[in-house]
Amino acid sequence: MATRPAFATVINVGVANFSAANTARDGSGTINTVFTPGASGSKLNRIVIKAEDDMADCVVILWLKVGGSTWFLWKEIDPGDGANADNTTPGYEYELSLADRDINLPSGCLVGATVTVAPTTGDVNVFGFGADF
């Protein structure tokens, strides 16, 4: 048992930018790595999904890889079919706050993301915001 508590001290930000669809919910196909914990692990505070343009009607799937090579379905977000972004309409944006949920990830664990339908135009950006222990 540790004699002193561990605090997250080094900011860690990851991002995946993608536009290819992956309809599989079994961890197969291309999964885009969003967040990689540091050598001593990390606390994941927030995930932000941001469409560059038109997301289409789809589902964004978040995955966890806990050591090994298997991705596990973690969360699904339904953005609906938002408006096409233009000079007066912003693209879809969603924020998942995890700060109060103690999402502590060990080294070697990964957070990934996929989208079930390719965006009509533009790409999808998925950001992971946290800090390393």
pLDDT tens digit at each of 133 positions of the chain: 557 667 778 999 999 999 999 999 999 999 999 999 999 999 999 999 999 888 888 999 999 999 889 999 999 999 877 767 777 788 889 999 998 888 999 999 999 999 999 998 889 999 999 999 9
Whether 69 is in a domain gets the answer: yes
Q: For 56-80, b where at least 16 C-beta lie within 10 A, e where not — what string?
A: bebebbbbbbeeeeebeeeeebebe
Burial (Cβ within 10 Å: 0-12, 13-18, ≥19) of residue 85: middle
Parent domain of 81: 10-132
Reference 76, options 90, 57, 62, 94; nearest CA is 62
CB atoms within 10 A of CB 31: 21
Whether 5 is in a domain gets the answer: no
The number of distinct structural domains making up the chain is 1
